[in-house]
Amino acid sequence: QVQLVESGGGWVQAGGSLRLSCAASGRTASNYAMGWFRQAPGKEREFVATITWGGGGTRYADSVKGRFTISRDNAKNTVYLQMNGLKPEDTAVYYCAAKNGMYSSSYNSYNYWGQGTQVTVSS
């Protein structure tokens, strides 16, 4: 089992920045590929970013490319999502997820999920 706890969400004005953190614990959390997803009210959960277990590979949704950066510190068992240039359409609950094997943009492939952290961007 892997336990995931997100933090760092909050309220910010458009153009601002936030950094989300996801602390992992449990069985060798550093061996898992990690992803960030988000879900806005009335919408389906969508892919934001993913990173390989070693941190050498990343992938982003087109909507966040160039604004968001995913990274990880395996010594701290923590994954980060640096969000710059935030827009009102980025408002959502952001979830951290972990999976075995290759990184992926498909939420169905992830085995473990955090509880989520709310991000609200005002115009």
> How do residues 14-25 score in pLDDT, each as one tens digit?
999 999 999 998
The residue among 10 and 27 whose pLDDT is bigger is 10
Pairing of strands 2-7, 92-99: unpaired
The residue among 90 and 102 whose pLDDT is bigger is 90
Task: Say which DSSP state 15 is in.
Answer: T
pLDDT of residue 27: 67
Nearest alpha-carbon partner for 29 in 80, 82, 79, 102: 79
pLDDT of residue 55: 82
pLDDT of residue 113: 97
The residue among 74 and 117 whose pLDDT is bigger is 117
